[in-house]
Structure 1
Amino acid sequence: MKILQLETFRTAVPLHTPFKTALRTVKVAEAIVVKMTCENGIVGWGEAPPTVVITGESLSSIEWSIQQVIKPAIVGEDLLNFEYLFQQLHTLLVRNSSAKAAVDMAIYDCLAQQCDLPLYQFLGGYRKELETDYTVSVNSALEMAEDAAAYVKKGFDVLKVKVGKDDIETDIKRIQEIRKRIGYEINIRLDANQGWESKAAIKAIGKMEDLGLNIELVEQPVPAHDIEGLKRVTDGVDTLIMADECVFTPHQALEVLKTRSADLINIKLMKAGGIYQAQKINDFAEVCGVECMVGSMIETRLGITAAAHFAASRKNITRFDFDAPLMLAEDIVVGGITYKGRKITFPAKPGLGIDKVKV
């Protein structure tokens, strides 16, 4: 079954509220959408958002990588020789992980459709339903507390709170204010997005522990390159520490796992280059007794549907961060995963279950 065509389209969907982290503020979710067509009529979809501050990719670089490097290498090849396709994808082009991820999604979508299976079952089928957290953007303490209370009222019982943009005391006040509003039954995860140095991170997390703020985990407290600093934080606090931006590849995951530099790993398809490599990261982590979360960038339901299928397929993936589509003012996807509050369900259709993307 040959791949006949690989097309790319640009999309831009506004957010209903700006998304703010220590690294950036996003008002519009831009992306390159990939459409793969096979000779038997099967169509597969993929998505790659430009996240310059994390992956280093822009809309133009993603588009160029797919059209000028990846497309010539795989169009005309047999889809069922998928190991060859993935080797081509990951050896012809270094880095450019989001561009690879979009094509990877489309390949897996087509493969699962060919087997007449939903993708999560094609990949392993461990669970049929997921629950996502919801992210509280960086703002004033009172505004963050109001946002947190609003999300709890909508039924979200796990909140991912962004910190690391300002000084430690300001961050602690934010968490204290949030706890005043939502109480202590709601699970809180912090994401510093590389915003602290190791000593500051240990001080901040230690103080939050002393104050009894009941934080489940802190994600990527230190700069991505500082694996030694990450290990110091992990060893220096009781709170679980999750690696994120420091783990793009299986090799990077292996380094974090060998040195026990983090308690958990956050896998994102846009960092890993797609499901093919993400499976390897999760497998390494599982062998080492380290659980994983699957997260995302600011993506539409297209990219999140692929990530959710992967997350549902594996036992070792125990946490899910798939709230991005809930932040968008429009929905360009017909089919795919369905949200009911914090619960995510999968369509009873093969592949990603996506019927159409409005491009």
Structure 2
Amino acid sequence: MLIAKAEVFLTEVPYKNPYQIATNITAKGRHVVLKLTTDTGLIGWGESGIISRGYPAQGDTPETVLAVLEAYLCPAIIGKNPCLFEVIMSDLDLLIKGHQFAKCAIAHALLDLAGKVYGVPICNLLGGAYALSYKVSRSYRGLAMSD
């Protein structure tokens, strides 16, 4: 089984409540979604979100993530075995430095594919579930509030 096709999409999802951090308020999430399809028809999904407008100062925007995926990372993984996660991610680090948000989308999609191939939850591929439920927090008016 090999990766046969990679499709990248830029999406915008409005938040129920704007996401507030110290430097700004964001009303919608801008996410890059990656769809990897194998030569056997299996599909893996990955995603990378830029939750703050502050990231352009660090060089990452949804548009740069999309461009790096389309121009560099996705072409490099076509024809590769998606279950060779560490090899692929190491090769991508050699191909282009940084761009962790773009590489995150690839990592998610590869793990999704591997979980489907082996018929196990992704947490099992990462050493097993530590807990079955987690508290989630969100920045809101400068305070961490538990959802």
Give the structure-1-normalised TM-score. Answer: 0.38
Q: What secondary structure sits across from 1:89 in the alignment?
A: helix
Gap change, CA 1:73 and 1:129, over 3 Å in 2: same
Q: Distance in 2 between matches of 1:56 and 1:25?
A: 19
**Structure 2 contact 85–107 (Cα < 8 Å) conserved:** no
Counterparts of 1:84 and 1:134, CA distance in 2: 34
**Runs of 5+ consecutive residues of structure 1 not aligned to the other structure:** 140-160, 163-187, 189-322, 324-341, 343-359
Q: Structure 2 counterpart of 1:31, which letter? A: H
Q: 1:28 to 1:84 in 2, by over 3 A?
A: same
- Within a 5 Å distance, the mapping from 1:40-55 to structure 2 comes to 40-50=40-50, 51-54=52-55, 55=58
Taking only aligned residues, the RMSD between alpha carbons, in angstroms, comes to: 2.0
User: Is the counterpart of residue 64 in structure 1 residue 67 in structure 2?
Assistant: yes
- The share of aligned pairs that are identical, in percent, is 24
Any residues of structure 2 matched to 1:203-352 within 5 Å, and which? none
Match of 1:98 in 2: 101
| Change beyond 3 A, Cα 1:29–1:20 | same
Change (3 A) 1:56 1:107: same
| Aligned 8 A contact 2:73 2:92 in 1 | yes
Query: Quick check: 1:11 aligned with 2:14?
Result: no
Unmatched 5+ stretches in structure 2: none
Cα 1:117/1:137, change in 2 over 3 Å:
same
How far apart are the structure 2 equivalents of 1:94 and 1:61? Answer: 14
Q: CA deviation at 1:138?
A: 1.8
SS at match of 2:98: coil
Is the 2:6–2:78 Cα contact (8 Å) retained in structure 1? yes
- Show the counterpart of 2:35: 35
Could you tell me how far 1:10 is from its partner in structure 2? Answer: 1.4
* Larger RCO of the pair (alpha carbons < 8 Å, separation 6+): 2
Deviation at 1:72, TM superposition (A): 1.4
Specify the code of the residue in structure 2 equivalent to 1:126: A
* AA at the equivalent of 1:30: R
Deviation at 1:128, TM superposition (A): 4.6
| Structure with a larger share of its residues in strand | 2
Counterpart of 1:137 in structure 2 is 140
Q: Aligned letter for 1:134?
A: S
Relative to the length of structure 2, the TM-score reads: 0.87
Give the deviation of 1:133 after TM superposition: 3.3
Distance of 2:129 and 2:138 partners within structure 1: 26
Q: Which aligned segments of 4 or more residues in structure 1 are displaced greater than 3 angstroms?
A: none
User: What SS does structure 2 have at the residue aligned with 1:61?
Assistant: helix
| Distance in structure 1 (CA, Å) of the matches to 2:23 and 2:116 | 38
